[in-house]
Amino acid sequence: MIDLHVHTTYSDGLLSPKEVVQYASEKELSVIAITDHDCVSGVAEAVSMGQEIGVEIIQGVEMSTSYNEINIHILGLMIDTEGKLLNDTLTLHSNALAKRFVRIFENFISHGYKNISYDEFAKQYSLQWGHLVEYMRLKKIASNLDELKQYVGKNGIAYAPYPIEKLSVRDSINAIHDAGGVAIWAHPLHRTGEINLEHVVKKFKLLGLDGLEVFYPFHTQLETEHLIDLALKYKLLISGGSDFHERTEERDLGKLINVSHNSCSSLGNIWYVLDNTVSAMKRHSSNT
């Protein structure tokens, strides 16, 4: 079994890299990709544990980008985590997000929310929206992301603009390629709103996109089949991942499709497909 989209405590996951790899072994997964949000710091720990217990670790990252004001996540798989352009890009945007979070806290406090502190938050959490939600939940300000958006959205009292231009899809793909990796569009139909999917896939392909995350627990069967067709049409790699953050039934480690799916008959066994994808990525990596 293979899972090419996994998070750890280095972003917004609840298990450390070591614990994730141990859990993968318990669930009899042979290959997992560590893809923390805008961060590669947890990869080395996972690789070390994987070597100890026989789980292959693919070095990865999930980069937060923007396209026409839509949040797009691009996975970098088989990356060199020491890549200079990749790390420069991640650092630049991490620093920008930190500045935005500081301003958000200042705005909250100026509107009377005196029980919060950016320094307190930063000591306990990494700079992730999911962690900000958790912090604000504990402070009884917002219980979920939708509630938080009422405060930090453009019309909210704590709104703070991103201090630099958001990372583009083009720049994320270039950084991934510079690090020897392949660029995969993560969950293309999850939280992307009304988009002309084929038009965007075609455009991203021209920017250098290598693949689509086809198998994903929140894609419906029809969406999965549509993504398969697009991947085949545009000669893109077919990837799949649970987007694992914690032990939950709806997206547990290794759970790549919705339980309502009857089959993926157009491609047969998804593990066979993903095994071929991993092999193709390795060939790509060895040629860069």
The 10s digit of each residue's pLDDT in 26-75 is 999 999 999 999 999 999 999 999 999 999 999 999 999 999 888 899 99
Per-residue pLDDT, 268: 47
- pTM above threshold 0.85: yes
Domain spans, the chain? 2-84+170-286, 90-152
> How many angstroms from the chain centroid is the CA of residue 73?
6
Per-residue pLDDT, 168: 95
Superfamily name and number for 2-84+170-286: Metal-dependent hydrolases (3.20.20.140)
Per-residue pLDDT, 284: 74
Residues in the chain with pLDDT values less than 70: 191-193, 257-269, 271, 288
Report the distance separating Cα 78 and Cα 76, nearest Å. 7
Per-residue pLDDT, 1: 85
